[in-house]
């Protein structure tokens, strides 16, 4: 029987690949044979990710909120005769912001979070889908958050809204792209200490807040970045050939 988790025939592009979920996802695919294209605005860290993934991996410094930058990226891939068949829209986060009252939020702050969390997923999918349609095969996996299904622990209105919007985009694209054998699914992680931002959140909770968070998780422990990578592997695999438009919460149980 063919191994459903053999990705030696796949070219996988992961955004937000410099650290955390993105790096874990890149490594999970690379370890199973995929050609990995790691993208992030943090040049040195994304190059480090690509180096960890092996000789065939590529690193690109890309601002996924910029249509022009994405056009340059895909032109470069085309010049290398590379066609992306698996896209993981992982880039996101709170871009250094903290929760504040609605009336104090500036429009620029709102736009900055929406740009990377929602616009980026739209723009990357739009660019990648051209090649996927041509080959009548594709896998798009968006990484949202429990914040898109419930409320955000950060208290940041734009973050919760953008992640909810990304979930809506997932469902809509699943129906639009299905005729080309392109599936579109979404992983919604719970709180995981995976990058400097989440470490700051964890510290800000204090011991009582940390205990309260863990007590509200069915499994009574935090997850790790690899838990998210494993969910992505499933959606990209042959085992998920008839699964599309779905949101998988990976949060230890709520």
Supply the residues annotated as catalytic. 159
CB distance 138 to 86 below 8 Å: yes
Question: Where do runs of H (alpha helix) occur along the chain?
Answer: 20-30, 43-53, 67-79, 107-114, 120-135, 157-177, 196-215, 225-236
CB distance 250 to 187 below 8 Å: yes
Q: Measured between alpha carbons, how far is residue 206 from residues 158, 196, 202 in Å? A: 24, 16, 7
Q: Which two tokens stand for residue 54?
A: 């092996």
Cα torsion through 245, 247, 248, 250, rounded to 10:
150
3-class DSSP assignment, residue 193:
coil
**Separation CA 84–CA 86 (nearest Å):** 6
Cβ-count burial of 171 within 10 angstroms (0-12 exposed, 13-18 middle, 19+ buried)?
middle
For strands 35-40 and 11-15, give the pairing. Answer: parallel
């Amino acid at each position: 029987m063919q191994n459903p988790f053999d990705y030696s025939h796949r070219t996988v592009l992961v955004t937000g690949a410099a650290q955390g979920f993105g790096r874990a996802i890149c490594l999970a695919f690379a370890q199973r044979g995929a050609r990995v294209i790691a993208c992030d605005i943090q040049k040195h860290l994304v190059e480090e990710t690509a180096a960890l993934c092996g000789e065939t991996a590529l690193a690109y410094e890309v601002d996924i909120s910029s249509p022009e930058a994405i056009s340059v990226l895909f032109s470069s891939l085309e010049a290398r005769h590379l066609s992306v068949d698996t896209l993981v829209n992982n880039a996101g986060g709170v871009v250094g912001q903290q929760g504040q009252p609605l009336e104090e939020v500036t429009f620029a702050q709102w736009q900055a979070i929406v740009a990377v969390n929602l616009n980026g997923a739209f723009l990357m999918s739009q660019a990648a889908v051209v090649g996927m349609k041509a080959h009548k095969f594709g896998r798009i996996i968006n990484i949202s958050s429990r914040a898109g299904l419930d409320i955000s622990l950060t208290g940041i209105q734009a973050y919760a809204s953008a992640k909810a919007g990304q979930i809506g985009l997932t469902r809509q694209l699943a129906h639009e792209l299905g005729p080309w054998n392109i599936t579109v699914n979404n992983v919604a992680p719970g709180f995981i200490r995976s990058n400097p931002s989440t470490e700051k959140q964890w510290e800000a909770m204090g011991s009582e807040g940390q205990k309260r968070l863990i007590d509200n998780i069915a499994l009574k422990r935090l997850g790790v970045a690899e838990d998210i990578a494993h969910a992505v592997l499933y959606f990209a695999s042959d085992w998920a050939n008839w699964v599309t438009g779905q949101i998988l919460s990976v949060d230890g149980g709520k």
